[in-house]
Amino acid sequence: MDKFESLLTEKGIYGKVEVDISDLPDIEKYLSGSLNKGNVIDCYCPTCKAPRSFEFFDSEVHTGTGMVRIALPNQPTRGKLPKATERFQRYLGRRYVLTYKCTRDGNQTILFDLILTDSELIKVGQYPPRAILDRSKFGKYKKLLGAQYIELTTAVWLAAEGIGIGSFVYFRRIIENLVFEKYAEHKESLEISECDFSRLKFDKKIETLKDYLPEALVKNKAIYGIVSKGIHELSEEECLDMFQPLLIGIELILDEVLAQKEKEKREKELQSFISKKSEELG
């Protein structure tokens, strides 16, 4: 995935990527009304309720951006501009409204509103909002998380609104609740009191429960330290830059819990079936 697709599909409102003339091929790929035909991005489709490919469908270009005047860099004072520089500068200081449609269900479209300055491509709008798209794909966690489900969706919504630190607060709560629930579930078989457990550093808590927690959390227990540092020491932008990889980490942890519960359910069903049939068949 290139940085332009990452901006469209992973970053929230006012997310941005740096650009310069070396990005001209990708600028033309995504922003040219003629050259971006057939351009495809991968995104979650709320209609299909699954990841889908979205193909470029339409675009509008507006000369007014509502931003301060953009300075064009390194512009020669005499003579003709190099062709690449001239092509690059044609795209600057404009607003681009791009529409992509699902290749499976053409009625489902996603609109992106972008502004290109001399140094950045900025996402200033999206519909449906990224928070809605992300919430749609998290429905599978609703039963698992129960009341905590709102914490996951709130984290996603905050990040989509450009609030990175706040989203980390909810990530941390999800991890904490998972760890403390596992301790409560297995404390009778653990050789540590509740008081002593509560005094442990969080990575030690995870280590103590390594036989009961998802492997994705045990192997990546530093995730808790990262979100805690983000809350107390990092900027909104630094947290937003890390949001997507950490969200994937949370998903991996929850997916592992779901898979374990499904395995236990099937094992119980099999045992019940075998027991019943053994009695019937004598």
3-state secondary structure of 227: helix
Residue 70's pLDDT is what?
43
3-state secondary structure of 22: helix
CA contacts within 13 A on the Cβ side of 130: 26
- 127 phi/psi in degrees, rounded to 5: -145, 130
Tens of pLDDT along 162-188? 899 999 999 999 999 999 999 999 999
Q: Is the pLDDT at 1 greater than 80, yes or no?
A: no
- For the four alpha carbons of 55, 60, 62 and 67, in that order, the dihedral sign comes to negative
pTM above 0.75, yes or no: no
94: β partners: 116
Residue 72's pLDDT is what?
44
Q: Highest mean pLDDT range out of 80-84, 203-207, 240-244?
A: 203-207
Distance of CA 129 to the CA centre of its chain: 13
Q: Is the pLDDT at 108 greater than 90, yes or no?
A: yes
Q: Which two tokens stand for residue 2?
A: 């290139």
| Other beta carbons less than 10 A from residue 247's beta carbon | 19
Q: Is the pLDDT at 81 greater than 50, yes or no?
A: yes
Taking a C-beta distance cutoff of 8 angstroms, is the pair 7, 121 a contact? yes
Task: Quickly state the pLDDT bin for 80 (edges 50, 70, 90).
Answer: low
3-state secondary structure of 113: strand
* Rounded Cα–Cα distance for residues 243 and 29 (Å): 26
| Helix locations, 139-221, DSSP H | 142-145, 149-160, 164-186, 194-199, 202-208, 215-219
- 233 phi/psi in degrees, rounded to 5: -130, -20
Q: Is the pLDDT at 75 greater than 80, yes or no?
A: no
* Rounded Cα–Cα distance for residues 133 and 146 (Å): 20
Indicate the range of 26-40, 46-60, 83-97, 231-245 predicted with least confidence. 26-40
